[in-house]
Structure 1
Amino acid sequence: MAAVVAVRAVSRLMESRNLRFFSTSSLPEAYPLAMKLTHWAVGGGVIGCFGTVQAAMYTTKDYQPIPGMGKGELMGLHKSFGLLVGAAVVPRVLLRLASTLPPELPGRALEHILAKAGHYALYAGMLFMPASGIAMGYYGGKGLPFFGYHIPGATPDKKNPKIAGNAFKAHKLVGQGFEIVTLGHFGAVGWHMLKGQAIWRRIIPGMS
């Protein structure tokens, strides 16, 4: 709560100086710039996670979907993208709570209900997946890679294979649902485009 209050205070200060990194105006037509930036940081990380783990699943000694990259390298990238999502989603959530958002796009009540449910599911996945991945790496003792760097895991006296194992099972199960929810999000974008609604200008930096 204190972080949200701080974000709101900075937002009001910047608005008073006509800076639009945050938005506190009533009913803006697009999301604030800070939300746009964190949206693409999180979204890019999520797509990176999905792409690398899917490629790793199909990688064998005789076949590499991404030439020159084995299963280990792909999973290292998968975990790195996961940490990126974990780092970006926290400010994303705080900004979501602190910012004035544009009104919902015109649509039927069912569309608005599905949109809200889909976004809540996305936020839940974006928070849970990095958390469970970190738990796996830390309590398993192997640590976590981050684009060439290595974050140490728990020392032998603090390792907890049970926590690591449960985190792995939950990570795998929730991940499958998260992929479906994300595909639904892409589908919703396509639906808005078919309806002729200006969906991209609401979320792409530089467009307002």
Structure 2
Amino acid sequence: MTPAHPFKDFMQWNNSTHRFGAIAQLFHWTSAAAFIGAYVVVYYVIWFMDDTSPESLPVLNIHWVLGLLVGFVVVPRLLWRLWAVQPAQPTGPAWEHALAHAAHIGLYGLLIVMPVTGYIGTGAPTDFGLFTVTGFNETAAFAWVSESLHVTWDEFEAPVDAVHHFLGKFVAWGVVALHVAAALYHHWVRRDGVLQRMWPGGGPQPK
């Protein structure tokens, strides 16, 4: 019998009932890296720079790039989650599965709401290098909102920015911490392979 090649498991593109494929892993880890990176950058600005100075704009631009990347990835990630086979739930009580489902809804909600509020509350273009995303205040969408609601940019931006900051300071950390804690619980306590099935090359699929 010819042994299975480990690289074949590593490059399994589609999900199976045992583990996530490379596409789902790419979406997951890209979102995670961009989300965490956006936090690191913005707190660097808050702690070590004057966020109202021109010198902070190139650094804030990195935050905006990473935030928009999260938003760009979440749509195909959700579509892939709806279309692709999902690995079977690990054994456990019904309340644990319900909590995990609620946590995932909260996490996906953040991956949508944080980039949306971040973008529509930013009155500056985001420079990706090869292209630039126009600031929301310069778009036809904001012109329609302004005309329909009779609000200026300052009147519109302030509450949106408040929502973005509130979620970032008081909600996102808790949801992300719960997600990480659950993954570590499954890995170190339950030892049921939940973390490995999202990890690239985390072991061959059962036959």
Structure 2 residue aligned with 1:124: 109
Aligned equivalent of 1:21, options 9, 13, 16: 13
How far apart are 1:113 and its partner, in Å?
1.7
RMSD: 2.4
Deviations 1:22-51 (A, max 9, x none): 34x6xx100232111111111111111121
How far apart are 1:147 and its partner, in Å?
5.8
CA contact (8 A) 1:32 1:99 kept: no
Q: Determine the C-alpha separation between the residues in 2 that align with 1:112 and 1:156.
A: 42
Higher relative contact order (CA 8 A, sep 6+): 2
- Runs of 4+ aligned structure 1 residues displaced above 4 Å come to none
For structure 1, list consecutive stretches of 5 or more residues without a partner in the other structure: 1-18, 62-69
Letter in 2 for 1:163: F
Letter in 2 for 1:118: A
CA gap 1:133/1:60 in 2 versus in 1, 3 angstroms: closer
CA gap 1:46/1:75 in 2 versus in 1, 3 angstroms: same
CA contact (8 A) 1:133 1:171 kept: yes
CA gap 1:116/1:155 in 2 versus in 1, 3 angstroms: closer
For structure 2, list consecutive stretches of 5 or more residues without a partner in the other structure: 1-10, 144-151
Structure 2 residue aligned with 1:41: 30
Q: Determine the C-alpha separation between the residues in 1 that align with 2:160 and 2:129.
A: 22
CA contact (8 A) 2:38 2:67 kept: yes
TM-score (norm: length of structure 1)? 0.74
1:56 aligns with 2:45: yes
How far apart are 1:144 and its partner, in Å?
2.2
Count matched residues: 176
Q: Determine the C-alpha separation between the residues in 1 that align with 2:35 and 2:139.
A: 31
